[in-house]
């Protein structure tokens, strides 16, 4: 988790609210491939929408893992 701020934000959000419906993360750097795959898996496991906005794109992860 060291150096991957979006993973820390998602983990903290899951600790504070055990069953969130929606998580939104905003960062000013690009999302790496590892974080992208991890977020996709977490969205599927937790059955929640996760939106990660980086410098160039908006990544929307749906509860079905897409």
Query: What are the residue boundaries of the structural domains of the chain, listed by start?
Result: 5-61
Q: Tell me how far apart the alpha carbons of residues 54 and 9 are, in angstroms, rounded to a whole number.
A: 14
State the pLDDT confidence band at 60, using cuts at 50, 70 and 90.
very high
Per-residue model confidence as pLDDT tens digits over 8-54: 888 888 888 888 888 889 988 888 888 889 889 999 998 999 999 98
Of 15, 10, 1, 2, residue with least CA distance to 42:
10
Q: Once rounded to an integer, what is the mean pLDDT over residues 4-10?
A: 86
User: 62 — phi, psi (to 5°)?
Assistant: -95, 160
- The contacts of residue 14 (CB under 8 Å, 6+ apart) are 20, 42, 46
More confident residue, 41 or 5: 41
Average pLDDT score, the chain: 87
């Amino acid at each position: 988790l060291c150096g991957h701020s979006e993973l820390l934000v998602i983990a903290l959000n899951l600790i504070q609210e055990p069953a969130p419906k929606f998580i939104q993360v905003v960062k000013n750097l690009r999302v790496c491939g590892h974080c992208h795959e991890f977020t996709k898996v977490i969205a599927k496991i937790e059955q929640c929408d996760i939106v990660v906005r980086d410098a160039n794109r908006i990544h929307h992860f749906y509860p079905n893992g897409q």
